[in-house]
Amino acid sequence: MSRRGNCHDNAVAESFFQLLKRERVKRKIYSTREDARMDIFEYIEMFYNVKRRHGSNNQLSPVEYEKQYERRLTSVY
């Protein structure tokens, strides 16, 4: 829930759920609630958090971004 008077509190969550609906849920018909739960879990854990490119980190996937970050850290020391 947003804090009173701050409309931007939910922006990240709303953006995520909009993508989830557009890229996954609206394209499928689930026979059971458990099928939906498993499919959404797979989307989040196997694709969205690992492979999906994000504009906030120069169009790198989170895994690629972390690898670059670790290389920068090790090159400093």
What count of residues does the chain have? Answer: 77
How is the chain split into domains, by residue range?
Answer: 30-76
Burial class (CB in 10 A: 0-12, 13-18, 19+), 57: middle
**Arithmetic mean of pLDDT over the chain:** 82
What is the arithmetic mean of pLDDT over 18-24?
88
Q: Is residue 27 scored above 90 in pLDDT?
A: no
β-pair partners for 48: none
What's the pTM? 0.54
End-to-end, the C-alpha distance of the chain in Å comes to: 42
> Sorting pLDDT into bands at 50, 70 and 90, what band is 5?
low
In this prediction, residues 9-19 reach a mean pLDDT of 83
| DSSP class per residue in 43-69 | IIIIIITTT--BGGGTTB-HHHHHHHH
